[in-house]
Amino acid sequence: MALLTDNAAWVTERLAALPEKAPFEAGANVMIDGVLHPIAHAPGTRGGAWIEDGVVRVAGDPSFLARRVHDFLRAEAKRRFGAQALVKAQRAGLAPRRVTVKNTHTRWGSCSPDGVLMFCWRLIMAPPFVQDYVVAHEVAHLRHMNHGAAFWALTDELSPHRTQAVAWLHEEGPRLLRAG
Ligand SMILES: [Zn+2]
């Protein structure tokens, strides 16, 4: 808390520099895999949200549209990051105990000491090379619970995209946090 107070001017400046909020609403765009997808309400249909011809179509009552887009992206993130983590872990002779997604604001992923991998669902909006790197990073933590040389060697073995992905997250990451 003292640190925050001491740096109040800096914090205010950083917050002001954050991108505008980008709510999930009909007519707006949502980024999926780094590609902008328009959001469209599909009246008279049932079944949550889905992608059709590059458009995120959302069924049901329009007042639940944002929630349905959110649930759809979160489910996609869980399904895909779960599958990708299993494939990468297998390549390294490892196995996560479980893969979860959460709404985190300070980290894109984590690995618990008992082997549970967590990813921020918002990474589903990032380009595939970014997702690939973050998954590789957390899978590598299943073997190395540190950021030592052996850890980075395994991370780079599991994904060739580290430099590019770190740069992308630094530049564009804040936008992912403001979406929805
Ligand atoms: Zn790490």
Cα–Cα separations (whole angstroms), residue 43 to 19, 46, 58, 68, 104: 31, 8, 8, 13, 32
Largest CA distance in the chain: 56
E strands in the chain = 29-32, 35-41, 49-52, 55-58, 98-102, 109-111, 116-120
User: Does a structural domain hold residue 157?
Assistant: yes
User: Does a structural domain hold residue 87?
Assistant: yes
Looking up residue 155, the CATH number of its domain turns out to be 3.30.2010.10
User: Does a structural domain hold residue 135?
Assistant: yes
Range of the domain at 60: 20-175
User: Does a structural domain hold residue 24?
Assistant: yes
CA of 33 to the centre of ligand 1 (A): 22
User: Does a structural domain hold residue 6?
Assistant: no
pTM, two decimals, is 0.88
CA of 35 to the centre of ligand 1 (A): 26
* One pLDDT digit (tens) per residue for the chain, 180 residues: 555 556 666 666 666 666 678 899 999 999 999 999 999 999 888 889 999 999 999 999 999 999 999 999 999 999 999 999 999 999 999 999 999 999 998 899 999 999 999 999 999 999 999 999 999 999 999 999 999 999 999 999 999 999 999 999 999 999 999 998
CA of 124 to the centre of ligand 1 (A): 19
Are 111 and 138 spatial neighbours (Cβ–Cβ below 8 Å)? yes
User: Does a structural domain hold residue 112?
Assistant: yes
User: Does a structural domain hold residue 100?
Assistant: yes
User: Does a structural domain hold residue 5?
Assistant: no
CA of 29 to the centre of ligand 1 (A): 31
CA of 67 to the centre of ligand 1 (A): 31
CA of 137 to the centre of ligand 1 (A): 6
**Tokens standing for 11?**
């914090």
Number of independent structural domains in the chain: 1
